[in-house]
Amino acid sequence: MASPLTVSIVHPQYNNLKKYSPVLHFLAGTVFIAAAVYEFRIDNRITAFSELVIGIDVITLAFMRGFAEDSSRMNAIFRFIEVLVFGGLTILAALDQSWITACFLAIATGMYYYVFHCERKVINREKVSVHHLGVTISNFPKDKELEWDEITDLEALPHSITIFTSRKKILRFDFQKAIAFDELEQIHEFCRHYLKSE
């Protein structure tokens, strides 16, 4: 019997997340600069200068064509910094008893943390695994598990895999690089055994 196989894929949802990354950088940079202006007005020049530098850096990233989409690890690092800064601003606004601002910043912190969590998860595991229990697809917020009885057909090619489910869903993923013939044969052996396909 074939041994379990895990293959790196290009995840469509993660690619969509990367497309929105410049917008997220721009929004975060704008908030940093607004916070810098506020800190400058209350004569807290060191904090204002720090926030201004971070804001300009983050906005610059938004306009660097292709960087935000291609540099997943750097996106995750900046997203973590954004979570820390928004979280800190939330605490400062709450201490200042600016409840509306604190609520807005808390929502922003939660949103940026969720995006950070998704980016970090998919960086570590953007894969599809074929094993004896079925197929596992890396996804966010959690992996998608498909048992063999949920799969009606599975079409594996050197550059892609397409899964047809009993719920009439078609899941297609391109591989990050072409898989070897023996890996392709492993997938076909699982299909022959569990799907009774030729």
Question: What pLDDT was estimated at residue 184?
Answer: 83
Angle, helices 72-95 vs 45-63, to 10°: value is: 150
Could you give the C-alpha distances from 73 to 7, 41, 118, 121, in angstroms and in order? 20, 35, 12, 11
β-bridge partners, 100: none
Q: Which of 103, 124, 145 is the last residue of a domain?
A: 124
Number of domains in the chain: 2
Q: Please, what is the Cα angle at 177 between 175 and 181, to 5 degrees?
A: 90
> Over 70: is that where the pLDDT of 187 sits?
yes
- pLDDT, residue 117, reads 80
* Domain end among 124, 141, 159: 124
Once rounded to an integer, what is the mean pLDDT over residues 58-69?
A: 66
Claim to verify: residue 28 and residue 95 sit in the same structural domain = yes
Residue 68 in this model has a pLDDT that exceeds 70: no
Is the confidence at residue 156, as pLDDT, over 70?
yes
Quick one: 109 and 145 in the same domain? no
- What is the structure's pLDDT at 69? 52
Residue 59 domain boundaries: 12-124
- Are residues 137 and 156 part of one domain? yes
Query: Which of 18-32, 81-95, 120-134 reaches the highest mean pLDDT?
Result: 81-95
Do 106 and 40 have their domain in common? yes
| 86 — pLDDT class (breaks 50, 70, 90) | confident
Residues 69 and 160 in one domain: no
C-alpha to C-alpha distance for 190 and 81, rounded to whole angstroms: 44
Res. 54: pLDDT tops 60: yes
Is pLDDT above 70 for 137? yes
Same domain, 188 and 107: no
